Amino acid sequence: MAKKNPSRPTLFKCSVATLLCFFATSIFASNPSSSVPISDEEISERKQACYADIDSGLWGTQCRSTLIEKENCAMKCTSAVCYELIYGSDPLEEGERDYIRSQEYRYCMRRSSVGLTLDQVKGAFDNDVTVRAAAFSLPGSVRITH
């Protein structure tokens, strides 16, 4: 008996369901009630998982068209909220290296991972300003001022 190939609508529905499951697990995997910000290692692990999803085609052909498109999609996948805040109005372009926005993106991820507001994230590293001493302080924690 010949095996029937799945139709395009079926493949589309499966792809959408897979993406929804991925987003749901990534949203619930980050515990905003945690008092420990996400580490660089955890950010890197998330991003590697996103690269794998992009390479497998889950994010469409646009995300595989160029290295910079892949990078924008990986950042969007890793944290859609932080990507939109930092890169949404001005995505990375070919050949661009933006260390300031890269720092802001990681800072955003750390703050959002512990449930802090993202109000002061954009622009936090402008003009080579270092992170303020209380940047990672948590509600109820001791603040050291200089």
Do residues 77 and 50 touch, judged by C-beta distance below 8 A? Answer: yes
DSSP secondary structure string, the chain? -PPPPPPHHHHHHHHHHHHHHHHHHHHHHS-TT-SSPPPHHHHHHHHHHHHHHHHTTTT-SGGGSSHHHHHHHHHHHH-HHHHHHHTTTS---TT---HHHHHHHHHHHHHHHTT---TTTTTTTGGGPPPPTTTT--TTS-----
Quote the pLDDT of residue 58.
96
Round to whole Å and give the CA distance between 117 and 112. Answer: 7
Quote the pLDDT of residue 141.
47
The full length of the chain comes to 146
Quote the pLDDT of residue 24.
46
pTM for the full predicted model? 0.63
Of 117, 127, 106, give the one whose Cα is nearest residue 38.
106
Quote the pLDDT of residue 46.
97
Mean pLDDT for each 10-residue chunk of the chain (146 residues)?
Answer: 56 54 48 77 97 97 96 97 95 91 94 89 69 48 44
Q: Which residues contact 107 (CB under 8 A, 6 or more apart)?
A: 121, 124, 125, 131, 135
Quote the pLDDT of residue 14.
47
Quote the pLDDT of residue 16.
53
Q: Kindly compute the dihedral angle of the four CA atoms of residues 28, 30, 36, 41, in this order, to the nearest 10 degrees.
A: 150
